[in-house]
Amino acid sequence: MNRGNRRALILAAGEDLPAGPPAFSSATLIICADGGAALARRWGLKPHLVVGDLDSLSLEDQKFWREEGVPFHTVPARKDQTDLELAVELALEKGARSITLVGGWGSRIDHALGNVELLYRLALEGVENELLTSGHRLTAFSGQVKAKVSPGSFVSLIPLTPCVRGVRTRGLGYPLSGQDLHKGSTLGISNYALEGEIGVSLEEGVLLLICEQ
């Protein structure tokens, strides 16, 4: 894989997790944001790097990964960014153009909403992105996107910019054919898939696509 098109898998400490790790290749960059290193150990994944202030990673897990030769990028507890944002920035520095976040959703709603903002940032930078939970896949995008889904599953579209213009959909029960979606409205909530692949495109703005998995 070309380093400029590299994919990154970032593991964090949120509790709402898929049943197992997403598929990835040997070229995928694996970064753990603090307590995400415990998840990596549980799933049998060796990270390329652990970043954070280590407040949510046990001493036992720290010792395990250090003995495995995994480098740590340790930061002060008093900082201006979350550990997950620092992990995203390191992934971008290392050439990632597609980033999957796991462990980015859970009981810390402030962190969860902040992670949606990270998806928004990645969309603005033209980086493919997704956040995976136990039952959903979130992705922020401009332009267009396709997604594999189960027929009948819920699909929601949420504007991340004040106005998302010219939204068109394919394969949804309530089709959109060029309408604008406005931030502060629930118009795009609880659509549903008619087939196994859907498509969404837009003319301007950033949209959050939430697919039930």
What residues have CB less than 8 Å from 131, skipping those under 6 apart? 100, 101, 102, 104, 105, 115, 116, 119, 137, 138, 139
The pLDDT tens digits of the residues spanning 17-34 come to 999 999 999 999 999 999
pLDDT value for 77: 86
At 201, phi and psi to the nearest 5? -135, 160
Residue 1 reports pLDDT greater than 70: no
194, burial (CB in 10 Å: exposed 0-12, middle 13-18, buried 19+): middle
Residue 130 reports pLDDT greater than 80: yes
The pLDDT tens digits of the residues spanning 156-209 come to 999 999 999 999 999 999 999 999 999 999 999 999 999 999 999 999 999 999
Distance between CA atoms of residues 95 and 85, nearest Å:
16
121 band by pLDDT with thresholds 50, 70 and 90: very high
Which structural domains are found in the chain, ordered by start?
Answer: 3-135 (3.40.50.10240), 144-212 (2.60.120.320)
pTM (predicted TM-score): 0.95
